[in-house]
Amino acid sequence: MNQDMMQGKWKQMRGQVKQWWGRLTDDDLEMAAGSADRLIGLLQERYGYTREQATAEFNRRLHAAEIK
């Protein structure tokens, strides 16, 4: 999924993202605003992931949900 598509579907995705990563707050999701890079950065902060771990987890979840 490219950045433009993610931003366009962000409102639809927010609930799913919150289920996947319950430590993210509504403010976090508002801050991410559909940006994969921001969301990955927030995953690093909230879960202590490395950049590589956060990116892999993000990609795995999107692929599993078949959000394209």
pLDDT at 53: 97
Residue span of the structural domain in which 47 resides: 24-68
Helix (H) or strand (E) holding 65: helix 51-65
CB atoms within 10 A of CB 28: 19
CATH of the domain at 54: 1.10.1470.10
Chain position carrying tokens 């799913």: 16
pLDDT at 56: 97
- Copy the structure tokens of residue 14: 């927010």
Is residue 1 included in any domain, yes or no?
no
Is residue 48 included in any domain, yes or no?
yes
Is residue 47 included in any domain, yes or no?
yes
Total of domains in the chain: 1
pLDDT digits (tens, 9 = 90+) for 4-61: 667 778 888 888 899 999 999 999 999 998 899 999 999 999 999 999 999 999 999 9
Of 54 and 1, the structure prediction assigns the larger pLDDT to 54
Is residue 53 included in any domain, yes or no?
yes
Is residue 57 included in any domain, yes or no?
yes
The pairs formed by 57-64 with CB atoms below 8 angstroms and a separation of 24 or more are: 61/20, 62/1
Is residue 62 included in any domain, yes or no?
yes
